[in-house]
Amino acid sequence: MTPKIGRVFSGIRPTGHSHLGNYLGAIKNYVALQDEYECVYCIVDLHALTTVEDTLDLRQNTYEMALDLLAAGIRPEETILFVQSHVPQVTELHTILSMVTPLGKLTDLPTFKEKARQQPHNINYGLVGYPVLMAADIVLYKSDVVPVGVDQAPHIEFTREVVRSFNYRYNANVLIEPQMKNTETPKVLGIDGKEKMSKSLANQIEIAATPEATRQRVMMMVTDPQRVKRTDPGNPDICNVFSLHKIITPAGDVAMINIECRRAGIGCVDCKKLFAGNLNKALEPFRAKRGELAAKPAHVHAVLEDGAARARAIAEKTMVEVREAVQLP
């Protein structure tokens, strides 16, 4: 095996099935980075608790997320895949990092304000501390690179600040400032063509759905809003379906759509049918592998247990240094 050039960490919330935004914005990079980096990927069940009040599905969703990640190409023989709550050191580090975090910085974050708007009845303390727990996730593993979508940028910047504050306050050089890594599609829009694809906005296309369900979601996608009639020429530059064609569809067809849409040679319905077909084809190997894995739940649970044991070993090593730096008795 070629020597690895650093460590990667990322986390994903088990709030339901993964969608195209998760896949194109983050998971694709989780998979690609395995070739060069030692990778640690975490299903962040504790973070999910900040928004999920009814936890009946939490275990099942955590398991489903493990299926998604393994089916997408995470290789558990080399990569560590684990569940956040299985490594309790992260909550200890979260507490310690909270001491070098000004409260105003957390309540000023756009991500906090957005969540507070979305769930005004449940602005809990965990929601405020969400980025501190995320920083703890990242620095516990001394991660160099964090693959995420652009919505997480404020949290990565926050993590870098916390690292500097910790190292300065305790006169230590223990924690590492991570770098953010985006894909070529750091913000995938939902089927509404306006907002970021996300489960909370119900505008997602789930990657593990059936081909028919996928087709139905694609046919609901909003295209160029100026193009009202089939005979109107369209503008692919402002069409979300076209932006996804560019990622999923073979180059020849992309060039054809680019020309034909502008002169009303192809209509939005045909364009979306083409996209649905290509998307289903692109997701076929993932779905087949997911089906195979779903038939082996004991294997999937064993992967997560093994991942947690390997993660705990790294986490405890960091915590020995952190406790020493803070001079905890």
Query: Does 138 contact ligand TYM by CB under 6 A?
Result: yes
Query: Does 129 contact ligand TYM by CB under 6 A?
Result: no
Long-range contacts of 90-93 (CB under 8 A, 24+ apart): 90/46, 90/133, 90/136, 90/137, 90/140, 90/315, 91/46, 91/133, 91/136, 92/319, 93/136, 93/139, 93/140, 93/318, 93/319, 93/322
Residues 195-254 that bind ligand TYM (CB under 6 A): 196-198
Query: Does 7 contact ligand TYM by CB under 6 A?
Result: no
Stretch (H or E) spanning 307: helix 297-326
Closer to ligand TYM by Cβ: residue 129 or 149: 149
Query: Does 11 contact ligand TYM by CB under 6 A?
Result: yes
Of 121-129, 151-159, 253-261, 319-327, which part binds ligand TYM (CB under 6 A)? 151-159
Residue showing tokens 């223990």: 174
Of 91-99, 113-121, 149-157, 270-278, which part binds ligand TYM (CB under 6 A)? 149-157
Closer to ligand TYM by Cβ: residue 155 or 290: 155
Query: Does 271 contact ligand TYM by CB under 6 A?
Result: no
Query: What is the β-pairing status of strands 7-12 and 38-43?
Result: parallel
Give the angle subtended at the CA of 313 by the CAs of 310 and 315, to the nearest 5°. 110
Query: Does 13 contact ligand TYM by CB under 6 A?
Result: yes
Residue showing tokens 């809990």: 124
Cβ contact 15:52 at 8 Å: yes
Cβ contact 178:139 at 8 Å: yes
Closer to ligand TYM by Cβ: residue 26 or 208: 26
Near ligand TYM by CB under 6 A: residue from 10, 34, 79, 214: 10
Closer to ligand TYM by Cβ: residue 7 or 227: 7
Residue at 169: amino acid letter = R
Please report, to the nearest 10 degrees, the dihedral formed by the alpha carbons of residues 238, 241, 242, 245 taken in order. 160
Closer to ligand TYM by Cβ: residue 11 or 236: 11
CA pair distance 150, 305, nearest whole angstrom: 30
CB of 328 to ligand TYM, least distance (A): 24
Of 120-128, 133-141, 235-243, 251-259, which part binds ligand TYM (CB under 6 A)? 133-141
CB of 6 to ligand TYM, least distance (A): 15
Residue at 227: amino acid letter = R
Near ligand TYM by CB under 6 A: residue from 7, 8, 22, 81: 22
Query: Does 325 contact ligand TYM by CB under 6 A?
Result: no
Query: Does 44 contact ligand TYM by CB under 6 A?
Result: yes
For the chain, how many helices (H) and strands (E)? 14, 5
Across-strand partners of 38?
Answer: 7
Contacts with ligand TYM by CB under 6 A lie at 9-13, 21-22, 25-26, 44, 47, 134, 137-138, 146, 148-149, 151-152, 155, 186-188, 196-198
